[in-house]
Structure 1
Amino acid sequence: MASQLRIYVPPHPLIRHWLTIAREQHTPVPLFRTAMQEMGKWLTYEAVRELLPVQAVNVETPLATAAGQVIDQEIPIAFVPILRAGLAMLEGCQSVLPAAHVFHLGLVRNEETLQASCYLDRLPHQFDPQMLILIVEPMMATGGSIMTTLQLLSDRGADLGKIRIINALCAPPALQLINQKFPTVQIYSACIDEVVNEKGWIVPGLGDAGDRSFGT
């Protein structure tokens, strides 16, 4: 039986709130950037809820010994923000996992062919197969950038079953491509919009997340 792509749209009121703020065309740059950071934080929280390995420990409180759990530091964790827009969400993501590695990947989309090309690659030559990887990609419309990223990760030894995508908005064309080739990857998104127009833009969407984050 074929695997089925798993995409989660958490019903968290703060995620819904900040997505609405980001959609509004008159939201000023600083507030838009805050909205992206907040979505990054809460979506990362949801994505690692059942992902992070823990180990049992005993600690000494001021009164007695108490049993507890801490994150297993032996398992490496990394963020892969897709530039530019991924940087807008990264700070919020890092607030949840401040010790995680960060491997930057810069992709640019040809507006005529809608194909992505790489201009910056700071990924490891070979990934530790135990590494938990969270790709930070705010917008997934036609799927060009995310498919390029997933193929690079796969070629360099990443375990696709340990990859999560942190995403503000996605659309069916991208989801269909991921499901066809990388169905074990899990996606945590604030919303799925149903339309991608002839220019490759998500509708109603929120515009260009990179431009709106950096005021360009």
Structure 2
Amino acid sequence: MLVYVPPHPLVKHWLAIARNAATPPSLFRSACAELGRILIYEAVREFLPTVETTVDTPVGPADVEFVDPTKPIKVVPILRAGLVLLEQAGTVLPMSETYHVGYVRDETTLKATPYLNKLPASLSPDDKILITDPMLATGGTMLQVIEDIVARGADPANIRIVCVVAAPGYIVPGLGDAGDRAFGTSG
């Protein structure tokens, strides 16, 4: 799996605020939102389907490119923490559909089990899917979400993950087999 950390000063700035134990909750949420917006831009840079057309401008026709409104990105926030990133997806993506999922992890087995699954019964291999979760620790829940999405017909190459903080060294081996790219910062 490719993990991409944008080399941008604002990413470093907002990550420093998010990681600071003295940061108040409201500022922490703002930092996650700002990081989410930047990371979503990066995650969909070469991912959004587009269409070319012509529009009339005040000085005549112009060739333009739009995000294809017939192919909305499917955003899957992992509850509850993924909601702050979902809000940013709504402000950044021109067309999107939302499918909430919630998982609880058994502290003994560490197995993630869904308590809420609003995924559609089936997905197309052409669907572009963006999973949002601010924190990736062991990778177990993320792996289960990806497996649930792929089991419904999604192509793993069309899944992207947006994560604010990832704990290095704790990612479940084989996670790269299920997803194409993750966009985030290092923990």
Please indicate the TM-score interval, normalised by the length of the shorter structure: over 0.9
> Equivalent residue of 2:35, what SS?
helix
Given the two structures, how large is their TM-score scaled by the length of structure 1?
0.81
Structure 2 CA distance for aligned equivalents of residues 97 and 118 of structure 1: 27
Aligned to 1:177: 174
Q: Please list, as runs of the form range in 1=range in 2, the aligned pairs for 1:50-199 lying within 5 A after superposition.
A: 50-170=46-166, 171-174=168-171, 176-179=173-176, 181-182=177-178, 184-191=179-186, 193=187
Percent of aligned positions that are identical: 42
Structure 2 gaps, min length 5: none
Please say if residues 77 and 83 of structure 2, whose CA atoms lie closer than 8 Å, have aligned partners that are also in contact.
yes
Per-residue CA deviation, residues 139-175 of structure 1 (Å, 9 max, x unaligned), is 1111110011011001101111100000111123326
Displacement, 1:76?
2.9
Aligned to 1:45: 41
Per-residue CA deviation, residues 177-201 of structure 1 (Å, 9 max, x unaligned), is 312x32x52110122x4xxxxxxxx
Structure 2 CA distance for aligned equivalents of residues 95 and 18 of structure 1: 18
The number of equivalent residue pairs is 186
Displacement, 1:47?
0.6
Structure 1 gaps, min length 5: 194-216
Q: CA RMSD in A?
A: 1.5
Structure 1 CA distance for aligned equivalents of residues 54 and 120 of structure 2: 36
Please say if residues 67 and 94 of structure 2, whose CA atoms lie closer than 8 Å, have aligned partners that are also in contact.
no
Given the two structures, how large is their TM-score scaled by the length of structure 2?
0.93
Structure 1 CA distance for aligned equivalents of residues 78 and 97 of structure 2: 14
Per-residue CA deviation, residues 18-71 of structure 1 (Å, 9 max, x unaligned), is 111111112111111111111111100001111112111111111111111111
